[in-house]
Structure 1
Amino acid sequence: MVYLVTFGVAAISTVILGPLIIPILRSLKIGQTIRSDGPKRHFGKAGTPTMGGLIFLIPIIIASLFISPPNLSTGLLILMTLGFGIIGFTDDYLKVVLRRSLGLKARWKLAGQILLSLILAFIAVVFLDRGTNVWIPFVGELYLGWLYLPFVTFVVVGTTNAVNLTDGLDGLAAGTSAVAALGFLMVSIILDNHHTAIFSAALAGGCIGFLVFNAYPARVFMGDTGSLAIGAAIATLAVLTRTEILLAVIGGIFVVETFTVILQVISFKTTGKRLFLMSPLHHHYELKGWGERKIVLIFYLISIVFAFLGVALLKYL
């Protein structure tokens, strides 16, 4: 019951907050810029308010703090979500408000992500007794020792940027992230991890509530403010539940999107040919003539399958 309440509080708070924040973003002219080489149908989205991640980040944090008893796990989840949200907010602010096309320099963005990832790994191992073992389905435990620090860094940085790549169509990142959060809610309940379960419910509620404004046709975009924060939240849930490997399955849609970008780059640099009309994958189907709603719906269904598969694999850890 407490998880349903948490979900509801985050979702309803997000729906209430949206009409208050969106006009502010619009009045400040914080509008999305569109890639010139992207699908032509996206040009009509230019000027749509971005940095909308603020709309759901606040309710997620409030719901987690007020419903979950004070504890280090929840504090760490909020730290990571806020930390990456601030990195994303800074990048959005520099690009959209100050009109710096490149935003936050890549080396500073990466440095901040690595630092926060190392803090997560250190606190999880030293203060939460996470240990440095990684559970692999059908194999068992793998002891990493000090290698666990770069492993967590790879997981967190990879996940945040994968969610960021997925944020390319109205409602796509928010919906698939909600599914992943619900997957970790199920994982947390099975593992009897009350604190991560509450945060998972809040994260899912915030993402679902945001869809009221972000589903096609979107009235606001989450920007890096939202996508980096969501990615960090999901990755931290995986670390705290010791299911980093299952994250690649539960968040399989993010992995697929990322690999299409990697394969596209490798193919073009080695052969001069593109494997996809455009990457990430959702843009490929756009250029093939698929409607935006159709693509998003299919990706939602695929993400649900991935989430159920990941939860099912839990018994083989």
Structure 2
Amino acid sequence: MLSYLQFGEDWFGPLRLFQFISIRAILAGITALLFGFVLGPKLIKTLRSFGARQAFRGKDEVGKLAALHEAKAKTPTMGGLLIFGSVLFSTLLWAEPNIYVVTAMVIYIILTGVGFADDYLKISKKNSKGLPGRYKLLGQLFATAVALILLLGPLGDILSGVQGKAMGSSAKMLELWLPFYKDIVITSMPIVLVFTLFLFTLTGSSNAINLTDGLDGLAIGCTVTVALTYGIMSYASGNFVISEYLRISWVPGTGELTVVCASLLGGSLAFLWYNAHPAEIFMGDTGSLAIGGLVGIIALMIHQPFTLIIVGGIFVMEAGSVILQVASFKSRGKRIFLMSPIHHHFELKGWKETKVVIRFWILSLLFALIGLATLKLR
């Protein structure tokens, strides 16, 4: 927690720079990036020695796609540990530990554990099934409950760093805001609605990124744009002057989430270095489920969960393609896409893997810019 070095400015003037979130966010991103670069080769070597290989579905399930991905059979998975280590180390080093940072890290840890269990079962049983869906959902339910206990309980107001109940963590978390609308839609939501919103956001975000993680660099590249966008949004949400000017929700203390987002950005770039085609390592559910949960809880805490539908447009496309495919097949006996998630559809149409990934990155950047525009267009 190097942010406390700011109190030594009387001894050494430049230490006052550590009071600025922007400076610490930049340093956090650089720290996570360098940590990932150092950890990467060692983690890849360790996972290979343990035989932690990705389990793929057979030709009877995926047909032609199995041949396209045959060369990836020996690539180790559980690379989400690299991102997790980078984000956790950098956040602990540079962020001031308020209730929002604590909640974000606790949810990230819980869902990393769920994802790790899923990957471990896939590796040990040598199949692609892993942890049963009901246990994944149970883990996400547990994460949702923990988040609400932290944010709505007495600890939330104690650690929010805000004087007065009117602006405390508990009161703020009950508000509902929508993109493109400048006023609070609901000033005090019932706890049942809050729980539903949190659960839907966390599970939706986790599962959507999990579905996107099917091509080298695809999910993590899109995560980079989402992390950068929510870093900007977190800074705006935690700054009274900026939030007042933009007419968005001011949630004091959430500015520190900028440091968390910067750590995720740095860790994601480090992982992308090793995950770029041809990938040396896959993130697995250890990474995708946890990253989705982390992004989701940050979006909730700064009152921008619905904006995540725009910013994470690629993730929505991927999850939506699966839902449409299943619904169409069950209702009409026909498939809409050659295969879902939709990135496999384009692969089977003859697009090279790198072309699919880069084009999806471009779309992800466009979605991020549209998401940022919602801050002003209200």
1:21 aligns with 2:63: no
Conserved 8 A contact 1:133-1:145: no
1:142 aligns with 2:164: no
Structure 1 unpaired stretches of 5+: none
Which of these residues, 363, 369, 378, is aligned with residue 302 of structure 1?
363
Residues 129-168 of structure 1 correspond to what in structure 2 (within 5 A)?
129=170, 130-139=172-181, 140-143=183-186, 144-146=189-191, 147-168=193-214
Distance 1:184 1:95 in 2: 32
**Offset, 1:141:** 2.4
1:93 aligns with 2:115: no
Which of these residues, 276, 291, 302, is aligned with residue 352 of structure 2?
291
Residues 1-317 of structure 1 correspond to what in structure 2 (within 5 A)?
1-36=23-58, 37-38=61-62, 39=65, 40-99=67-126, 101-126=128-153, 127=156, 128-129=169-170, 130-139=172-181, 140-143=183-186, 144-146=189-191, 147-191=193-237, 192=239, 193-316=254-377
RMSD between superposed Cα atoms in Å: 1.4
**Offset, 1:100:** 5.9
Distance 1:239 1:151 in 2: 9
Conserved 8 A contact 2:57-2:128: no
**Offset, 1:185:** 0.8
Q: What is the one-letter code of the residue matched to 1:10?
A: A
TM-score normalised per structure 1 = 0.96
**Offset, 1:183:** 0.6
Distance 2:134 2:109 in 1: 20
Give the equivalent residue in structure 1 for 2:250. Answer: none
Structure 2 unpaired stretches of 5+: 1-22, 157-168, 240-253
Distance 2:371 2:272 in 1: 24
Q: What is the one-letter code of the residue matched to 2:291?
A: I
Question: Over residues 35-93 of structure 1, what are the superposed CA-to-partner deviations in whole Å (9 max), with x where a residue is unaligned?
Answer: 22331211111121001111111110010011012222111111111110100000110
Task: Compare CA radii of gyration and give the structure with the larger one.
Answer: 2
Question: Over residues 220-262 of structure 1, what are the superposed CA-to-partner deviations in whole Å (9 max), with x where a residue is unaligned?
Answer: 0000000011001100110111111111111111011100000
Conserved 8 A contact 1:196-1:240: no
Aligned residues: 317
Conserved 8 A contact 1:134-1:244: no
Q: What is the one-letter code of the residue matched to 2:190?
A: G
Conserved 8 A contact 1:88-1:223: yes
Distance 1:247 1:185 in 2: 13
**Offset, 1:97:** 2.4
Distance 1:131 1:7 in 2: 27
Q: After TM superposition, what 4+ stretches of structure 1 lie above 3 angstroms from structure 2?
A: 98-101
Give the equivalent residue in structure 1 for 2:249. Answer: none
Question: Over residues 181-231 of structure 1, what are the superposed CA-to-partner deviations in whole Å (9 max), with x where a residue is unaligned?
Answer: 001011112223321100000001101110111010000000000001100
TM-score normalised per structure 2 = 0.81
Distance 2:335 2:128 in 1: 26
- Identity value in percent: 39
